[in-house]
Amino acid sequence: MPFYDNYFSSERSRSTSLGRWLVRYRNNWFIDRIQTIAKKKTISILELGPGKGEFADLCLQRNWDYLGVEGNKPMFDSLIERNIKVMNKFVPPIGIDRSFDVVFLNQVFEHMDSRRQAVQLIQEIYNILNDRGIVVISSPEVIFWGRNFFAGDYSHNNPTSFYSMQQILFDNNFEIKNVTFYTLVFEGYLIAKLLAYFYNFLFSVFAFDLLFGREKGYKIMTALLPSVVLIGQKRESG
C-alpha cells in the first residue's frame, strides 16, 4: 500500500518520546496478560502485523520463540535489518506449517477486506494454535470511533467492536478470557466512553487544529480514540 509506505518513511512516521513510552507501556501490558493466561515463561508467538517491531523487541528480550508476518515491504525490510524473524505477506491465508502458543494482532483485524476474510483469519488462527493456545486482538472500538473509523483510515473495512469480536471468537470455538477497553494509560468501558466524548468535543471546537494544525491534529485525535482488547483461548477439543 503506497500510503503506508509513505507513512513509514516520512515525517508522519516519527513519534515523540511520550508516544514511544505509551507504546512500550501498552506492549508490556499485553505481555503481562499473555503470560498470566498462557501460564508459561517461554512462549511461542506469532504476531500478525508487527509494524516497526516494538512488541517483537519485548518478546525477544524474554527469549520467546517469535515470528512476525508483515505485509508492508519497507517495514518488513526494516525488521529484517534488525534480525527479527519475519515473513513478508498479507493474511489470510496465514500459510505457516507450525503451531504457536499465542497469535497476536494489534491494530490489524480492522483491516480485513470483508467479514468473510475476518472469519477465515480467525479459523486459520484456531488451526495453528496449540491446545489451549490464545489469540490477542486489539482493535479500534467502532462504537467510540463512529464515522472516524472509516474517515480516519481508508483501509478500515472490518468494523471492530467488543460485540462483533466476541461473537466471531465464540462461533469459532474460543473462550473469552479477558476484555479491556483502553485509551492512553486509562482502562475500562466507562472511562473510555467518557474520554471518547471529550476528545470529539475538543475536535469539534477546533482545539486540536489550533494546537497541532489540521492534519496532525486529526491524526492525534484519532490516535487517542479508544480500542478494545479481546483475549480468547482455544477450547479443549472434544
Listed residue (66, 84, 62) closest to 75, CA to CA: 84
Span 34-57, pLDDT tens digits: 999 999 888 999 999 999 999 999
pLDDT at 14 (0 to 100):
62
Share of the chain above pLDDT 90, in %: 89
Residue 170 has pLDDT above 90, yes or no: yes
pLDDT at 41 (0 to 100):
84
Q: At CA 21, angle to CA 88 and CA 74, rounded to 5?
A: 20
pLDDT at 17 (0 to 100):
85
pLDDT band at 117 (very low <50, low <70, confident <90, very high): very high
Residue 18 has pLDDT above 90, yes or no: no
pLDDT band at 1 (very low <50, low <70, confident <90, very high): very low
pTM given for the model: 0.93
Which domains, and CATH codes, for the chain? Answer: 2-189+227-234 (3.40.50.150)
Residue 171 has pLDDT above 60, yes or no: yes
The C-alpha cell 470511533 sits at 145
C-alpha to C-alpha distances, 43 to 51, 54, 65, 66, nearest whole angstrom: 20, 17, 6, 8
Residue 12 has pLDDT above 70, yes or no: no
* Packing angle, helices 73-81 and 2-9, rounded to 10: 40
pLDDT at 11 (0 to 100):
46
Q: What sign does the CA torsion over 19, 181, 71, 65 have?
A: positive
Mean pLDDT rounded to a whole number for the chain: 93
pLDDT at 15 (0 to 100):
67
pLDDT at 3 (0 to 100):
44
pLDDT at 2 (0 to 100):
43
pLDDT at 108 (0 to 100):
97
Q: Mean per-residue pLDDT for 120-138?
A: 98
Share of the chain above pLDDT 70, in %: 93
